[in-house]
Amino acid sequence: MAREIVSDMDGLRRTHYCGEVALSDVGSQVVLMGWVNRKRDLGELVFIDLRDRTGLVQVVTESKSTPASFEVAQNVKSEYVLAVRGTVKKRAPGMENPDLKTGAIEVQADEIRILNTAKTPPFYIWDDAGADETLRLKYRYLDLRRAPLQRNLEIYHRTSMAVRNYLSSRGFWEIQTPMMTRSTPEGARDYLVPSRIDKGKFYALAQSPQLFKQLFMVAGIDRYFQIVKCFRDEDLRYDRQPEFTQIDIEMSFAEEEDVWGEVEGLVKYVWKEVLGVDIEPPFPRLTYQEAMERFGSDKPDTRFGMEIKDVTPVFSGSSFGVFRSAIDQGGTVRAIAVPGMAGASRQEIERLTERAKLHGAKGLITVAYLGGEVKSQIRKYLTDEEIAGLAQATGASEGDLVLIVASDFDTAVTVLGRLRLELASKLGMIPKDRYNFLWITAFPLLKINEETGRWEAAHHPFTSPFKDDLDKVRPDATDEEKGKIRARMYDLVMNGVELASGSIRIHRRDLQEKVFALLGMSQEEARRRFGFLLDAFEYGAPPHGGIAFGMDRMVMLLAGAENLREVIAFPKTASASCLMTEAPAEVEPERLAELGIILAKDVKRS
Ligand code: ASP
């Protein structure tokens, strides 16, 4: 049986990795170790593609010239683990494989040892053509044998090393912080860990090291960073995982420019090290307000134009009801010009209108400039002046289709912002191989939570408000005032993705207490949850600020991967489970008893 054909390494030592055997090795003896990627049996001749993490090499054995290895090769199957001792030969002319790094040579096997057998894997390792992802995640260790995933893991490693080298060279110290802690509010639910010793009490898994890194600044550490796991229990999307990795950074005596300068240097260094790409800081800066006005998003993709324009002045005298009522109610009329889309069919326009409604608009008005004519559902309401003014304001010319949304500001720009993205990708307007970084600044300090209807911190409650807005930081501030407080917060955005987020922090107790109060937190609650931070601020806390990168997301972009699961070794599914270990799992009743926990489903019975 299979077992008996297996032998041991017995002192045989690897001389080369498979993918690294080269023409210059022709004539030498090599020892390779790896997996059988594929085997081709031609009767008197057997070819084996041997694979390790560096790539493939062709091993050949023949019944006449190498009978010993030939006999073993007969038993070999896909994914068997082999040691091969042999001689490197140049391939015969015409037999080279230009697709393979080692395609000019092959290894004639004097000896093949089967170090282990393998069952037939549930999917082909060598074939990238999508095996079912459920299966891939269940057998993740096999999935990770595949070249694209190994490449992604290598990029992850190289990114980590680049980050560490750069930040260390800039005087940042990597220091670890606790994972089991009290809640650090980053706007998500906590994962809780019950205490056995102190029954009824729970640790929270850190949503970020935010409070600890601020305390490092109080402690005089001056510059800190950490590549760190963070845990947030929230609904998952393609670019979210319940546990994810941040590059967390904090600096003392720093203002915005200092943080941005360090981050720009880091990005430049990482992109060069990992991709060999030159990035040219400083990055452009847009306020949140400008970003919303021009792109309808706080993470604009600036690789293409099609910017949103305010056409309210064009229609200020309009008799068309939708424009009229939007304007009269203090709303706005906004538009984008879609190049070359004037010939869109009625169905296409209907589809666009459906999309606009899905994104929250009541409707969509279109104006097509085609063949010297103007086509629009509201043609009869449009004056010549308005038609010309619209073209001028949006930059529309012959062949373009203008999309118009009239409503409150937020709806108008977000709807057009989304259509802008959808159409750009559909029309192939987004250049690949471009890295458009930019800073978004001056975010609102507070936002209304859609579910609870309550004001909460847009970033986290430790973000400093703008000095000019401090007069509005009062518990009795009106909603209008609350909405206008700007935060010293910034996001680093690239190609429409939020890469990093940070802020200049509050470092004085009185201001921190005021912001807690603004958030509706009682003094008692503030003291109970954040007393240690408030106390620390009274012992000489320096001004400080920082930022955190979503590292998995950054590697995903560096690797050109579509999904976070392609760069995380052992990811969770959209329902936060691990298909391989089957976590989360039930635990023994005794373990629950030790923790003093009774499950709700067992309460009735007990
Ligand atoms: N702790 C913040 C976050 O996780 C980042 C920061 O403000 O530095 O989003």
pLDDT tier for residue 4 given thresholds of 50, 70 and 90:
low
CA of 213 to the centre of ligand 1 (A): 10
CB 184 less than 6 A from any atom of ligand 1: no
- Measured between alpha carbons, how far is 286 from 248 in angstroms, rounded to an integer? 23
- Asked whether the predicted pLDDT for residue 400 surpasses 90, the reply is yes
Ligand 1 atom nearest to CA at 230: 4
Which residue type sits at 361?
A
Instruction: Pick the residue whose CA is nearest to atom 1 on ligand 1.
Output: 210
CA of 246 to the centre of ligand 1 (A): 9
Tell me: the pLDDT tens digits for 478-533? Answer: 999 999 999 999 999 999 999 999 999 999 999 999 999 999 999 999 999 999 99
- Measured between alpha carbons, how far is 381 from 400 in angstroms, rounded to an integer? 20
Cβ atoms within 10 A of the Cβ of 133, count? 13
- Phi first, then psi: what are they for 155, rounded to 5°? -65, -40
- Measured between alpha carbons, how far is 574 from 12 in angstroms, rounded to an integer? 45
CA of 227 to the centre of ligand 1 (A): 13
Which residue type sits at 381?
Y
Per-residue model confidence (pLDDT) at position 2 = 45
pLDDT tier for residue 129 given thresholds of 50, 70 and 90:
low
Question: Which token pair is 110?
Answer: 């004097």
Ligand 1 atom nearest to CA at 489: 7
Per-residue model confidence (pLDDT) at position 254 = 98
Ligand 1 atom nearest to CA at 246: 4
CB 547 less than 6 A from any atom of ligand 1: yes
- Asked whether the predicted pLDDT for residue 606 surpasses 60, the reply is no
CA of 301 to the centre of ligand 1 (A): 22
CA of 300 to the centre of ligand 1 (A): 20
Instruction: Pick the residue whose CA is nearest to atom 8 on ligand 1.
Output: 547
CB 210 less than 6 A from any atom of ligand 1: yes
Question: Which token pair is 23?
Answer: 């023409």
Contact between 255 and 226 under an 8 Å Cβ cutoff? The reply is no
Specify the pTM: 0.94
Tell me: the pLDDT tens digits for 38-70? Answer: 999 999 999 999 999 999 999 999 999 999 999
- Measured between alpha carbons, how far is 123 from 441 in angstroms, rounded to an integer? 47
Classify burial at 104, counting beta carbons within 10 Å of its beta carbon; exposed 0-12, middle 13-18, buried 19 or more: middle
Cβ atoms within 10 A of the Cβ of 126, count? 15
CA distances from 258 to 217, 223, 271, 485, 487 (A): 15, 12, 20, 23, 17
- Measured between alpha carbons, how far is 516 from 334 in angstroms, rounded to an integer? 37
Tell me: the pLDDT tens digits for 483-498? Answer: 999 999 999 999 999 9
**In the predicted model, what is the mean pLDDT of residues 572-588?**
94
Per-residue model confidence (pLDDT) at position 136 = 93
Tell me: the pLDDT tens digits for 225-273? Answer: 999 999 999 887 666 899 999 999 999 999 999 999 999 999 999 999 9
- Tell me the pLDDT of the chain averaged across its residues: 95
Per-residue model confidence (pLDDT) at position 603 = 86
CA of 548 to the centre of ligand 1 (A): 5
- Phi first, then psi: what are they for 463, rounded to 5°? -80, 135
Per-residue model confidence (pLDDT) at position 3 = 47
Question: Which token pair is 480?
Answer: 């209008």
Cis peptide, bond prior to residue 313, ω within 30 of zero:
no
Contact between 23 and 100 under an 8 Å Cβ cutoff? The reply is no
Ligand 1 atom nearest to CA at 249: 8
- Asked whether the predicted pLDDT for residue 1 surpasses 60, the reply is no
Gyration radius of the chain's alpha carbons? 31
- The domains located in the chain, with CATH, are 18-116 (2.40.50.140), 141-281+542-606 (3.30.930.10), 304-426 (3.30.1360.30)
Contact between 459 and 501 under an 8 Å Cβ cutoff? The reply is yes
Beta strands in 445-533 (DSSP E): 446-448, 455-457, 489-494, 497-504
CB 208 less than 6 A from any atom of ligand 1: yes
Tell me: the pLDDT tens digits for 405-427? Answer: 999 999 999 999 999 999 999 99
Per-residue model confidence (pLDDT) at position 503 = 98
Q: Which of 225, 226, 260, 459 to mutate to test the pocket of ligand 1 (most atoms within 8 A of CB)?
A: 459
- Measured between alpha carbons, how far is 336 from 68 in angstroms, rounded to an integer? 73
Three-class secondary structure of residue 38 per DSSP: strand
- Phi first, then psi: what are they for 554, rounded to 5°? -65, -45
Specify the DSSP class assigned to residue 445: S
- Measured between alpha carbons, how far is 147 from 90 in angstroms, rounded to an integer? 25
Specify the DSSP class assigned to residue 307: -
Question: Which token pair is 176?
Answer: 């670890």
